[in-house]
A and B are shown apart, each in its own frame.
Chain A
Amino acid sequence: MSPTMPRFALAARVIHWIMAVMILAMLFIGIGMVSTVGELYSRLIAIHRPLGIAILAFAILRLVVRFTNKPPPLPADLPMIQKLAAHGSHLALYALMIAMPLVGWGMLSAGGYPIVMASGFHLPPILPHDLFLYGLLRQAHTWLALALFAVFLAHLAAALMHGLIRQDGVFSSMASFGRRGGV
């Protein structure tokens, strides 16, 4: 722990934790809804669509925050391979949190489905009604979701390694909200 370890900008920290909850909830809702044909299916899918669009909106906002606020550097003593893993997984997380909602929106468009946010409120289609395109995007949606969950697990494990094993301030650079850096 280094008390002088800079933290992420407040906006970046707030959006990170809001999106963490949303994305984790989304992954569980998505995998849960396709696992059942019970009444939960209809209820979860009604949440899944607007939540996905909300994640897309937050992801765009997050990109803006990311490009206007320099993130704190990784510890100088972190091995190069771990630095590469950190940057690569962050890039994958950004790509997937933007791609997943777009693939979902595009998939519904290509399938000729209404893109229902709430009763009486729809989004316009972003792709033409094309059955084969729907088939491809529908499969991509599942595989990308599983990839996102895998990257999330790696991210979680790495965060805990920084927080519990290395105790190098990386965890608290995102997780502390106090006046001064904590653990």
Chain B
Amino acid sequence: MSEDQGPGTRPPPASGAGRPSTLGRFALIGVIVAGVAGAFAYTGGWIGPARLKSKTIINALEANAGGRHPGWRRAHAKGVCVTGYFDGNGAGRFLSSAQAFGKLRTPVVGRFALAGGDPFAGDGRVVFHSMALSLTQPDGEIWRIGMDHTPIFPVSTPQAFTQLQIAGTPDPKTGKPDPAKMKALLAAHPEIAAYLKFMKAWPLPDSFAAGDYYSINAFRFVDGQGQARLVRWAMVPEQTGGVLDKDKLKTVPDNLLFDELRTRLAKGPLHWRMVVTLAGPNDAVDDATKQWSGADQQVEVGTLTLNATQPEEVGGCRDITYDPTILPKGIAISDDPLLPARSAAYSKSFARRAAEGPHPGAQASAPPSVPAGAAQ
């Protein structure tokens, strides 16, 4: 404090009864500033009860993939770009005011991928085959879609998803996940056990082109009058294919699915019909582990055509995050807790790989040496 206070420029030091001392006023300032800083730290999750953060999910995915693969997506790392368009047939406009459902063509930049965080893993795995799409409507609105080849998901919450990644992480000593951890998780989460059983029976397509792809989560379609309806959707292929024999996956060539897609697209475009299913009265609208009855109304809203493929290092899909909560007017998220978590986790994965420097696609640049334990 300065000493040279001129007389009369301020009142005499407060010392009367009822007035806090200078020390007390300093303490008050300290309490206010510390209180604001503390509230900020609590809001940021640095203090207080533990909270599931996006970095926890992404760290679990990285560990599950045997470590960090700089520049690649942390999930569905092995992929390929595709381009084409979506032709709305007009029927969807009765459900959603999104422009893409009108009788018009919307360009698409998409990506086929395999689940898992290892961009060099082979194609012979019982994992999700995924189709991701980014539609840029003529009105400028963007719709991002991330779909898998099964209509349901193994978990209904981001917490269970993270636990599943941790339980499935290979033990550095054995190179395999600890069976006791998985057993405990399955006991606590019967929906995961049910999913594993379902996945065992569900066909594993031998071609990206022949897969059905499902929205996994429910969404709200809002029509021009503001009426909202809960829906899921699927892309139903017009081309056919076979299935992989799950007992002979070791014999599947490493890039079978990606090579097959290139071959197919060289011969001509591929088509999927987009079918929207409205939730029935008994369908779970916030739980992606539950199948819908399917008995309720289904509406075919248009056709997806994919006519070209590009490796990720030159394709437009590499620099897109397929966050399923990026939606045009006329579509909104449901109360499914996986949707905000997907958005937050994809954002974290995107930020990390972007800062690491965009990496070329996996098939064109697989490392010359195979990681230990993966020798064939």
Contact = CB atoms under 8 A, between A and B. Distances in A.
B51 interface: yes
Interface string A147-173: 001000100110011001111100000
Given A77-B2, A134-B354, A153-B33, A42 B340 contact: yes
A79 B4 CA distance: 10
A123 to B, nearest CB: 11
B320 interface: yes
A28 interface: yes
B340 A77 contact: no
A165 B9 contact: no
Interface in A2-45: 2, 27-28, 31-32, 34-42, 45
Nearest to A36: B51
A113 to B, nearest CB: 7
A122 B337 CA distance: 26
A119 interface: yes
A178 interface: no
B210 interface: no
Contacts, number: 137
Interface stretch (B37-45, B121-129, B244-252, B273-281): B37-45
A27 to B, nearest CB: 7
A61 interface: no
Contacts of B28: 160, 164
B140 A41 contact: no
B351 A135 contact: yes
Interface string B323-356: 0011011001101010111011100001101111
A69 interface: no
A89 B190 CA distance: 56
Nearest to A159: B29
Contact of B43 (A35, A42, A45, A156): A35
Nearest to B28: A164
Interface stretch (B52-60, B167-175, B199-207): B52-60
A38 B354 contact: no
A134 B320 CA distance: 11
A112 interface: yes
A132 B354 contact: yes
Contact of B29 (A39, A78, A136, A157): A157
A35 B320 contact: no
Interface in A93-149: 111-114, 119-120, 122, 129-132, 134-136, 138-139, 149
A: contact size bracket: 35 or more
Contact of B26 (A78, A113, A119, A165): A165
B102 interface: no
Contacts of B141: 114, 120, 122
Contacts of A32: 43-44
B158 interface: yes
Contacts of B345: 37
A160 B32 contact: yes
Nearest to A32: B43
A34 B53 CA distance: 7
A37 B341 contact: yes
Interface in B1-22: 1-2, 4-6, 9-11, 22
Contacts of B318: 131
B358 interface: yes
B25 interface: yes
B40 A36 contact: no
A36 B344 contact: yes
B33 A120 contact: no
B358 A120 contact: no
B199 to A, nearest CB: 24
Contacts of A27: 40
B308 interface: no
A1 interface: yes
Interface in B122-144: 140-142
A134 B26 CA distance: 43
Contact of B319 (A1, A119, A129, A164): A129
Given A37-B57, A119-B329, A167-B11, A77 B40 contact: no
Most B CB contacts (10 A, CB to CB) among A36, A122, A164 go to A36
B321 interface: yes
A39 B343 CA distance: 10
B52 A132 contact: no
Interface of A: 1-2, 27-28, 31-32, 34-42, 45, 75, 77-79, 111-114, 119-120, 122, 129-132, 134-136, 138-139, 149, 153, 156-157, 160-161, 164-168
30 contacts: A2-B9, A31-B40, A34-B44, A35-B43, A35-B44, A35-B51, A37-B53, A37-B54, A37-B341, A41-B340, A41-B341, A42-B333, A75-B9, A77-B9, A79-B2, A114-B142, A119-B329, A119-B332, A120-B329, A131-B353, A135-B354, A138-B351, A139-B351, A139-B355, A153-B37, A156-B32, A157-B33, A165-B29, A166-B10, A168-B10
